[in-house]
Chain A
C-alpha cells in the first residue's frame, strides 16, 4: 500500500451504533488530520495530530472521538451520530505542521447515518 489509505470506503450506520473509521499513512509523515466534506460546504478540519499528540480540536461534537496510537495510524470513533453527520470523511497527512508541505489525502469514507 502506498500513500494514505482509509477503511471502510462506505459505511451505513444507525444513530445508536458505534463504529470506527481507520486511516493509515505509508509516507513517514508526522502529522495527520481528519476532515469532514459535506455537500455544498467547504471542507471542515476536525482534528489535527502531530506525533500522536492532538494539537487541534476544531469544536467537534463529542460523538466524534479521535485516536492516534502511532504516527502512521489515525482512527475516528463514532457513536450516537445524527443524520446531519452523513458526509465524506477524509484523512490526510503531511510531513509536519509548518504548513509548508502539502497534505496527502486518503480516498475518504462515505458515511451515511440513518
Chain B
C-alpha cells in the first residue's frame, strides 16, 4: 500500500518570500503520478501542480515548482513570491495509475499562512 507523509503540520511565510513544503511517499510502483492540491479556507480544493514519475524534469506552474527526487521518494513544493491568497491547506497526493482505479492517497496536509 502507498503512503504519503507531510511532516510539517503548519508553516508560515512573509508575503513575497519563498517557502518549501515537504512531502515523502512510499511505493513499489515505478510509474505513478504526484500532485499538490490547495484547499483555501471554506473554498474548494484545487490542483496546484502535477508531476509524472517517468519525467525527470521538475514541473513548474508560474510561482509554484516542485523538487521531485524519485530515488529518495520526495516531492516538495516551492512557492515563490508568496501572496496572501496562497494561505490554505496544502495536500500532497499520490496516484499509482494503472489499476489503482484513480485512487488518490493524500498526506495529512500542511496549513500555510502567508503574513502581510
A contact set with B: CB distance below 8 Å: 3-4, 31, 33, 40-43, 45, 48, 50, 55-56, 90, 94, 96-100, 102-103, 105-108
A3 to B108, CA, bound (A): 25
| Docked-complex contact A99 and B33, CB < 8 angstroms | yes
12 contacts between A and B (CB under 8 A): A33-B102, A42-B105, A48-B102, A48-B103, A56-B101, A56-B103, A99-B95, A99-B103, A100-B97, A102-B47, A103-B102, A108-B44
The answer on a CB contact under 8 Å between B103 and A45 is yes
Asked if residues B100 and A102 are in contact (CB atoms below 8 Å), the reply is no
Inter-subunit contact A99/B4 (CB<8 Å)? no
Report yes or no: A43 in contact with B91, Cβ–Cβ below 8 A: yes
Q: Is the CB of A102 within 8 A of B101?
A: no
Contact B102 A96 (CB under 8 A): yes
Number of residues on chain B facing chain A (CB within 8 A): 27
Min C-beta distance of A21 to chain B, whole Å: 16
SS class, residues of chain A in contact with chain B: loop
Where chain B touches its partner, the secondary structure class is loop
Q: How far is the CB of A95 from chain B (nearest CB, A)?
A: 9
Which 10 residue pairs are nearest across A and B when measured between Cβ atoms?
A99-B95, A97-B102, A99-B97, A105-B45, A43-B106, A102-B47, A42-B106, A56-B101, A107-B44, A55-B101
Binding site for A on B (CB under 8 A): 4, 32-33, 35, 37, 43-47, 50, 52, 91, 95-98, 100-109
Pairwise interchain contact A107-B43, C-beta atoms closer than 8 A:
yes
User: In the complex, which residues of chain A have a beta carbon less than 8 angstroms from the beta carbon of B95?
Assistant: 99
A97 touches B101 (CB 8 A): yes
Q: How far is the CA of A100 from the CA of B4 in the complex (A)?
A: 18
A108 and chain B: residue at smallest CB distance: B44
- Tell me whether B108 and A42 are in contact (CB under 8 A): yes
Q: A31-B102, A41-B108 are in contact. List 8 more A-B contacts (CB 8 A).
A: A42-B91, A96-B102, A99-B32, A99-B102, A100-B52, A102-B35, A103-B104, A105-B37
A99: which B residues are within 8 A, CB to CB? 32-33, 95-98, 100, 102-104
- The answer to whether B101 touches A48, judged by C-beta atoms less than 8 angstroms apart, is yes
**Shortest distance in angstroms between B108's beta carbon and chain A's nearest beta carbon?**
5
Q: With a CB–CB cut-off of 8 A, which chain B residues contact A105? A: 37, 44-46
